[in-house]
Structure 1
Amino acid sequence: MHIEQNILDQVNEWLTPTFDQNTQDEITALMTSDPKGLEDAFYKNLEFGTGGMRGVMGVGTNRINKYTLGKNTQGLSNYLKKCFPNEDLKVAIAYDCRKNSDTLAKVVADIFSANGIKVYLFSELRPTPELSFALKYLNCHAGIVLTASHNPPEYNGYKVYWQDGGQIVPPQDGEIIAEIEALKYNDINFTANENLIEYIDTEIDEAFIKSTIENASFNTPKEAKENLNIVFTSLHGTSIKSIPAVLSKAGYTNVNIVKEQEIPDGTFPTVKSPNPEEPEALTMALALADKVNADIVIGTDPDSDRLGVAVRDTNGKMILLNGNQTMVIMTAFLLEQWKRADKITGTEFIGSTIVSTPMMLDLAEAYGIECKVGLTGFKWIAKFIKDFPDQKFIGGGEESFGFMVGDAVRDKDAVAACLLVCEIAAQAKASGSSLYNELINLYLDFSFYKEHLISLTKKGKEGLAEINQMMIDLRENPMESINGQRVVCIEDYQNTTARDLINNETFHLDIPKSNVLIYYLEDGSKICARPSGTEPKIKFYFSVNAILESKDDLEAANAYLDTKIQNIISEMKLN
C-alpha cells in the first residue's frame, strides 16, 4: 500500500538512535508485516481529549509508549518550572491495573525527577480519585494518572491534574500542549534522580478513606446499614483497594464481592468491556445478586471513577440504572440532606454537563440553588469550584456514570459515590421504600425524563474522516423537524452560537469551544451529537420526557418514551 511521505518521515525519525532498539525492531517488523498498522501508528500525534490522552499501546506517534508519554512529561516539567519559578516543585503519580501502567508510571516519575521535581509515586495501583485527593493532601503542583479508564485492554492513557486537584483546563491545557509540541524526542531526560522519588501508600489511603466517609455519610442508622444486602464488583480494577474498606469502616457489613473479578487484571478476562455503562459488564454481579437476594449491585470501571448501579424494581427484578438516573437520585438526596440541615442559603450549586439530563436544572430550581452546566468531562465541574469560590459545591454528575460528592476530590469519584448510593438505599429500605421507588417519586415530581445513548465506532484514519463528515453534514444541512416535531433551537459549541429557529435569532454561548451540536425540539426533546474525545467514536445523546401522573402509568409512559427515542433514531438514520 502507498504510505504518505509525511508519515514515512515520522517513521524514519523513530528508526534513529534516539529510540531504543526494541522500538526500532517493532517498527521494522510493522513495515513488512502490517503497513496499514504502521500508517495508523504514525498518521497523527495523540491528542489530549475530554479525559486526558488515551490510545492503543505500541510504537509510534499515535500510540501510548515511553516516548509519547515522555514528551508529555518533559513538556509538563518545563511548564511547571515556568509557572512556579521559585518553588520546590512536587507532583503525585498514580496508575491503574492496565498492562504497562506500573512501568509507564515509573518512566514518568523518572523524567520528573530528572528535571529536579519531587515525585510522590504510589507503590501500587490506586483509584483515580485518590490521586486527586493525594495531590491536594500533599500540596503538589500537579498530578498524573496512568489509566485508560473503561477503554479496551489494548489502551492506556495519561491524565494531568493541576494544583486544585482537578484535571487541566484552559488556559493550562493549551499552554502545556505548546510546550510539548516545541520538544524533540531527544529533549526528553530519562535519567532518574531516585532521591527525588518517594513511594506513598498507607498514610494517603487512610486519609482518603476517612475523608470519603466524612463527605458521603448522612446519619444512616447502624441497623439500616447492616440490613442492606450489597453485591460489589471492581471489574478487575483499582476500586478493590478502597471501596471494601470504605464500606466496612462506614458500617456496611453485608457486602458480597464478585470473587472472579476481585483480582486486578488489565486483560479484564471475564468481561467484553470493563465499563459499567455496558450491561454485560455486570452479568456476574447480577447473577450473584440473585443468588444472595441482594438489594443493590455496584460495579466500577478500572480506575474507579465511574459507578454502575443495579436495583430491584417494583416486581423485585434487578434492573440497571443509567448514569442520568443515578445522578438525579444522588443529587436529590444531597439537596434534601442540605435542606434538612438548614445549610441551603442560595449560594450553593450543583454541577452537570450539556449532554446530561435536563432534570438536574429542575432539581436546582426546586431547591433554590444554581445548576452550573459545562462541557463533557468532570474537569469543567472542578473548574466551576475553582472559579466560584464564594459558592459552595454540593455535588454533581454526568450521564457517563460519574458523580462527585462535595469538593474533597475534584474529579468523578466512584468511591464516594458508592458509599452515598448505599446510604440512600439503606435509608430507603429502612423506611419501607427502595432506591427504585425514590427514582419514581422524582419522576412524579419533575416529569419522567428518559435518556438514551448511541456510540458509533469509526476506527483509524478513514473512521476519523467519516466522523468529521457526519458533524459537517449536521452543521451545514441541519434537520428542520424530527419525528414530527420542529427543531426550535440548535446550539453549536464549536462556534459558541445558539440559533433560535422560531424567532430567527442567534445568541452567543458563554462556554469554551467544543465540537458538539445540540438540537432542541418543540416537545422538549433534546438530541446531542459529539465525537468522543478519548475513543474513535461519535456519540448521539437523546433526552425525551413526559408527565407522569401516577406510578400506575409508569409502564405505559416508559413504552411511549422508548418509542419516541426509536423513532428519532430511525429518522436520523442512526440504526
Structure 2
Amino acid sequence: MNIPQNILDKVNEWLTPVFDNETHKIIEEMMTSSPKELEESFYKNLEFGTGGMRGIMGVGTNRINKYTLGKNTQGLSDYILKSFPNEQTKVVIAYDCRHNSDTLAKVVADVFSANGIKVYLFSALRPTPILSFALKYLNCHAGIVLTASHNPPEYNGYKVYWQDGGQLVPPQDEEIIKLIEELKYSEIKFSANEDLIEYIDTEVDQAFIQSSIENASFNTPKEAKENLKIVFTSLHGTAITLVPETFSKAGYTDVNIVKEQEVPDGNFPTVKSPNPEEPEALLMATDLAEKINADIVIGTDPDGDRLGIAVRNLEGKMTLLNGNQTMVIMTAFLLEQWKRAGKITGNEFIGSTIVSTPMMTEIASGYGVECKVGLTGFKWIAKMIKDFPNQKFIGGGEESFGYMVGDAVRDKDAVAATLLVCEVAAQAKAAGSTLYQELLNLYVDFGFYKEYLISLTKKGIEGANEIKQMMIDLRENPLKEINNQRVVCVEDYQNSTVLNLFTNKIETLHIPKSDVLIYYLEDGTKICARPSGTEPKIKFYFSVNEPLDSIENFKKVEADLDQKIKNIVAEMQLN
C-alpha cells in the first residue's frame, strides 16, 4: 500500500527526537505491519466537535495521546495567560473511568503547571458535572475533563470549560484551535511544576452534593421518598462516586444498586455499549427491578452526565423512556413547582435544542415561559444563561438523555437530574399516580409528540466521505414530499437559510452555523439530518405528533404515530 506523501511527512515528524522512543517503536511497527492503520492514525488532526475532542487512543495526529493532548493544553495555556495577563490563573481537571484517563489527566496538569498555571486535580475519578461545578466553586479560569462519554473502550476525550462553567463556544473555541494548530510539538512544556498542582476531593464533593439537593428537591414528604423503590446502575462509570451519597442525604433510602456494574471499569464488561440510550445497557437494571418490584430504574453513562430511565407502564411492565420523554417530564414538573411557588414572572426561560422534541416549546408556552432553542450540545444552553443574565434559567435538556437543573452546573448533569426524576416519581406515587401516567397526562394537555432516532455508523476515511455525500445529496436535491405530506420548509444551518418550498422565499437563520438540515412537513412532522460531532455517525431525528383527547386513546394514537414514522423511514430508504 502506497502511503500518501502528506501522511508520510507527519509520520516523519513523529519519528524525530521530540517524540519518545516508545512512540517511534509503535510507528515503525505500523509502517511494516499495519500501513492502513498508520494512514487512519495520521490522515487528519483530531478536531473539536459537539462535546469537545474525542478519538481512539494511540499514536498519531488523529489519536488521543500525550502529544495531541499536550498540544491542546499548551495552546489553551497560552490563551489563558494572554486572556488574564495580571492574574494568578487557575484551572481544574477531572477524569473518568476510561483506560489512561488518570495518566492523561496528569499529563494535562503537568503542562498547565509548567506554564505557571495553578492546577486543581481531582484525586480520583469523578462525574463530568462536578468539573463544571468545581470550576465556579474554586474561581478557576478554565477546566478540563478527560472523558469519551459513552464511546467504546478504545476511546478517550478532552472537554474544555471556561470561567462561566460552560464548555467553550465561538468565537473562543476557534481562537484557541488556531493557537493549537500554530504550535509545534517541540513547544509543549511537559516538565511539571509540582508546587502548582493541588489534589482535591471531599470538600468539593460535599459542596456539589449539597448544591444538587438544593436545586433538585421540591418538598417531597419524607414518607414519599422512603416509599419509592429505586434501582440504580452507574454502568461501570463515575456516578457511583456521588449518586448513592446524594440519594442518602436527600432522604431516599430504598436504593438498590446493580452490584455487577458498580465497580468503575473502562472495559465496561457487562454491556456492549455503556450508553443509557441503548435498551440493552439497562437490561441488568430492569431485570433487578422486575425481581424486587421497583418503581423506577436509573442508569448513568460512564462520565455521569446523562441518564436513562425505565418506569412501569399502564400494564405495570418496566418500559424505557427516551430522552425527549424524560426531558418533558422533568421540565413540566419544574415549571409546575415554580408556578406553585409564585416564581414565574414572565422573565424565565427553559432551554432545548434543534434536534429535540418541539413539545418543549408547547409546555413552555403553557406556563408563560420562553423556550430558547439552540444547536445540539449543552454548551449552547450554557451560553444562553451567559447571554441572557437578566432572565432566570429554570432547566433544559436535549434528546440524547441529558438534563440540566438550574445553573449551578453549566452542563448536562445526571446527578441532579437523577434526584429530580425521583422527586417526580415519589410525588406521583404518593398521589396514587405513576411517572408514566404523568407523561400521558402531558400528552393530553400539550399534544402527543413521538420521536425516533436512526443512527448510521460510517467509520474511517471512507465513512467520513459517505456521510459528507449524504448531506450534499439532501442539500442539492431537497425532498419535496414525504409520506404524502408536502415539505413546507427546509432549514439549513450550514448556510444559515430557511427555504420556504411553497413560495421559494429564503430567509436567514440567526443561529451559529452547523452541518444540520431540518425538513418541516405540512402536518407538523419534523425530520432532521445531522452528522455527529463526536462519533463517526450520521443521525436522523424524526418527530411526529397528533392530539390526544384521553389516556384511553393513547395506544391507538401511538400506533398511528408509529406507522407514520415507519412510512417516512421506508420512503427515505434508511431502514
Match of 1:515 in 2: 515
Match of 2:98 in 1: 98
Letter in 1 for 2:75: G
Match of 1:354 in 2: 354
Match of 1:128 in 2: 128
User: How far apart, CA to CA, are the structure 1 residues paired with 2:451 and 2:305?
Assistant: 21
User: How far apart, CA to CA, are the structure 2 residues paired with 1:143 and 1:351?
Assistant: 23
Match of 1:459 in 2: 459
Match of 1:166 in 2: 166
Deviation at 1:359, TM superposition (A): 0.3
User: How far apart, CA to CA, are the structure 2 residues paired with 1:36 and 1:239?
Assistant: 38
Match of 2:544 in 1: 544
Match of 1:409 in 2: 409
SS of equivalent to 1:418: helix
CA deviation map 1:61-107 (0-9, x unaligned): 00000000000000000000111111110000000000000000000
User: How far apart, CA to CA, are the structure 1 residues paired with 2:470 and 2:310?
Assistant: 34
CA deviation map 1:494-520 (0-9, x unaligned): 011101112221111110000000000
Deviation at 1:320, TM superposition (A): 0.2
Structure 1 segments unaligned to the other structure (5+ residues): none
Deviation at 1:28, TM superposition (A): 0.9
Kindly report which structure 2 residues correspond to 1:170-185, keeping only aligned pairs within 5 A, or say none.
170-185=170-185
Letter in 2 for 1:394: I
User: How far apart, CA to CA, are the structure 2 residues paired with 1:352 and 1:476?
Assistant: 28
Letter in 2 for 1:256: N
Q: Does 1:217 align with 2:217?
A: yes
Q: Does 1:505 align with 2:496?
A: no
Deviation at 1:549, TM superposition (A): 1.4
User: How far apart, CA to CA, are the structure 1 residues paired with 2:536 and 2:33?
Assistant: 24
Match of 1:382 in 2: 382
Letter in 2 for 1:194: E
User: How far apart, CA to CA, are the structure 1 residues paired with 2:559 and 2:55?
Assistant: 39
Match of 1:283 in 2: 283
Kindly report which structure 2 residues correspond to 1:155-304, keeping only aligned pairs within 5 A, or say none.
155-304=155-304
Q: After the TM superposition, which of the residue ranges 542-551 and 246-255 deviates more from structure 2?
A: 542-551
User: How far apart, CA to CA, are the structure 1 residues paired with 2:457 and 2:10?
Assistant: 27
Letter in 1 for 2:535: E
User: How far apart, CA to CA, are the structure 1 residues paired with 2:528 and 2:455?
Assistant: 12
CA deviation map 1:116-139 (0-9, x unaligned): 000000000001000000000000
User: How far apart, CA to CA, are the structure 2 residues paired with 1:284 and 1:510?
Assistant: 45
Q: Does 1:471 align with 2:464?
A: no
CA deviation map 1:442-469 (0-9, x unaligned): 0001111000001100000010000000
User: How far apart, CA to CA, are the structure 2 residues paired with 1:156 and 1:288?
Assistant: 30
User: How far apart, CA to CA, are the structure 1 residues paired with 2:178 and 2:167?
Assistant: 17
Match of 2:13 in 1: 13
Match of 1:481 in 2: 481
Letter in 2 for 1:180: I
Runs of 4+ in structure 1 over 6 Å off? none
Letter in 2 for 1:261: Q
Q: Does 1:4 align with 2:4?
A: yes
User: How far apart, CA to CA, are the structure 2 residues paired with 1:152 and 1:396?
Assistant: 27
SS of equivalent to 1:491: strand
SS of equivalent to 2:49: coil
Letter in 2 for 1:272: K
Letter in 1 for 2:288: L
TM-score (norm 2): 1.00
Match of 1:327 in 2: 327
Q: After the TM superposition, which of the residue ranges 544-553 and 398-407 deviates more from structure 2?
A: 544-553
SS of equivalent to 1:211: helix
Letter in 1 for 2:299: G
Match of 1:151 in 2: 151
User: How far apart, CA to CA, are the structure 2 residues paired with 1:569 and 1:10?
Assistant: 42
Match of 2:495 in 1: 495
Deviation at 1:557, TM superposition (A): 1.1
CA deviation map 1:6-62 (0-9, x unaligned): 011111111111111111111111111111111100000000000000000000000
Q: After the TM superposition, which of the residue ranges 557-566 and 155-164 deviates more from structure 2?
A: 557-566
TM-score (norm 1): 1.00
SS of equivalent to 2:157: strand
User: How far apart, CA to CA, are the structure 2 residues paired with 1:20 and 1:569?
Assistant: 50
SS of equivalent to 1:452: strand
User: How far apart, CA to CA, are the structure 2 residues paired with 1:518 and 1:126?
Assistant: 36
User: How far apart, CA to CA, are the structure 2 residues paired with 1:3 and 1:376?
Assistant: 36
User: How far apart, CA to CA, are the structure 1 residues paired with 2:455 and 2:357?
Assistant: 17
User: How far apart, CA to CA, are the structure 1 residues paired with 2:565 and 2:21?
Assistant: 54
Match of 1:314 in 2: 314
CA deviation map 1:269-326 (0-9, x unaligned): 0000000000000010011001110000000000000010000001000000000000
User: How far apart, CA to CA, are the structure 2 residues paired with 1:312 and 1:395?
Assistant: 25
SS of equivalent to 2:87: coil
Q: Identity of paired residues, percent?
A: 79
SS of equivalent to 1:299: strand
User: How far apart, CA to CA, are the structure 2 residues paired with 1:33 and 1:558?
Assistant: 54
Match of 2:398 in 1: 398
Q: Does 1:565 align with 2:568?
A: no
Deviation at 1:553, TM superposition (A): 1.1
Deviation at 1:552, TM superposition (A): 1.4
User: How far apart, CA to CA, are the structure 1 residues paired with 2:549 and 2:349?
Assistant: 29
User: How far apart, CA to CA, are the structure 2 residues paired with 1:362 and 1:154?
Assistant: 41
Match of 1:34 in 2: 34
Letter in 2 for 1:569: V
User: How far apart, CA to CA, are the structure 2 residues paired with 1:284 and 1:207?
Assistant: 32
Match of 2:74 in 1: 74
Structure 2 segments unaligned to the other structure (5+ residues): none
CA deviation map 1:171-191 (0-9, x unaligned): 110000011001010110000
Letter in 2 for 1:2: N
SS of equivalent to 2:48: coil
User: How far apart, CA to CA, are the structure 2 residues paired with 1:93 and 1:260?
Assistant: 29
User: How far apart, CA to CA, are the structure 1 residues paired with 2:102 and 2:153?
Assistant: 15
Deviation at 1:550, TM superposition (A): 1.2
Letter in 1 for 2:90: K
